[in-house]
Amino acid sequence: MLLKDIQTIFHKELDAEYGSHEVDSFFNILINYYLSLERITLVLEPDLNLTKTEEQPLFEALARLKNHEPIQYIIGETEFFGLNFKVNQHTLIPRPETEELVELIINNVASIKVEKSLNILDVGTGTGCIAISLANKLPNAQVTAIDISDEALQIAKQNALNNEVQIKFIKADILNKDDIDSKDQKFDIIVSNPPYVRNLEKAEMKKNVLNYEPSSALFVSDDNPLLFYKAIVEFTVDNLKENGLLFFEINQYLGQETKGLLAEYGFKNIQLKKDIFGNDRMVNATK
């Protein structure tokens, strides 16, 4: 079948659900991943004919897209902060808003007086996207990353290897501080993008998120939505250096509540920042 005819089928099957522009993006990603073809191929070789073997993964991907499976899970990878990351159903898909969190940290590093190296802790690392991006951009940093999921840590370790950075990975539950042995180490920076979506907000979410991404990394109860934030803040009491920095990605509806929690524990210079979509998305503060 002609490549352009397969593209037409993608639009016919998917445009109503995703829109023409996004379907074009899906198709370009898939032909690049499976066939090493660039989007310009459709213009330069309008009569390019694919074999049955070449067609098969495209039509398999089409069926999965019709079921709302994220394109990142279909190809098993995504890009974050200019780096390639493996992803699967055990890890959240890294998002552009989290790239902004990483950039915020990098921009604030100059404000910390570091004698030898910078000690950073990433709580709930998932794919490792925050920890690995920071290690890549801050060569003097010693980065530790924790997660409760064995499967997520396995992916994160592979991502660290693929991106040629050294990360200390620990299986730990931040809700159980005894899990984390850091008696001899204090951190200059602690960062987290913990679960923060309340169950009442599920109605706002798309099927590709609800049906495929790990719910334990997304959702918290309606009556205790700051559960993980409070646990992390309590952890900082003994484990974040004086004048150290704390960075959170947050629920856009709970910005003031998150600021209030930090103020309650004596944090200074508490700043609430918006993401590229104009939503309250990040909080940073100084111990």
* pLDDT over threshold 80, residue 168: yes
Residues 178-193: what's their mean pLDDT? 81
* pLDDT over threshold 80, residue 179: no
Q: Which of 11-15, 37-41, 107-111, 149-153 shows the lowest per-residue confidence on average (mean pLDDT)?
A: 107-111
Q: Are 229 and 258 in contact (CB under 8 A)?
A: yes
Query: Cα separation of 98 and 86, whole Å?
Result: 16
What was the pLDDT predicted at 114?
55
Give percent of the chain with pLDDT exceeding 70.
96
**Region of residue 164 (left: phi > 0; alpha: psi -120 to 50; beta: else):** left
Query: How is the chain split into domains, by residue range?
Result: 3-67, 78-286
pLDDT tens, position by position, 217-239:
999 999 999 999 999 999 999 89
What was the pLDDT predicted at 244?
93
What rounded mean pLDDT belongs to the chain?
94
* pLDDT over threshold 80, residue 194: yes
Q: Which of 53-62, 183-192, 258-267 shows the lowest per-residue confidence on average (mean pLDDT)?
A: 183-192
What was the pLDDT predicted at 204?
87
What was the pLDDT predicted at 112?
62
Helix residue ranges, H only, 163-251: 207-210, 227-239
What was the pLDDT predicted at 276?
93
Q: Band of the pLDDT at 181, cuts 50, 70, 90?
A: low
Beta-sheet strands, E only, within 179-239: 187-192, 197-198, 219-220
Residues 254-262: what's their mean pLDDT? 97
Residues 185-201: what's their mean pLDDT? 94
**What CATH number is given for 78-286 in this structure?**
3.40.50.150
Query: Cα separation of 87 and 241, whole Å?
Result: 33
What was the pLDDT predicted at 109?
87
Query: Cα separation of 232 and 177, whole Å?
Result: 9
What was the pLDDT predicted at 14?
98
**5: which strand partners?**
none
Residues 5-30: what's their mean pLDDT? 97
Q: Are 35 and 177 in contact (CB under 8 A)?
A: no
Q: What does the angle CA 153 – CA 211 – CA 71 come to, to the nearest 5 degrees?
A: 70
pLDDT tens, position by position, 59-106:
999 999 999 999 999 999 999 999 999 999 999 999 999 999 999 999
What was the pLDDT predicted at 263?
97
pLDDT tens, position by position, 105-149:
999 986 665 556 899 999 999 999 999 999 999 988 999 999 999
Query: Cα separation of 191 and 205, whole Å?
Result: 25
Query: Cα separation of 145 and 172, whole Å?
Result: 9
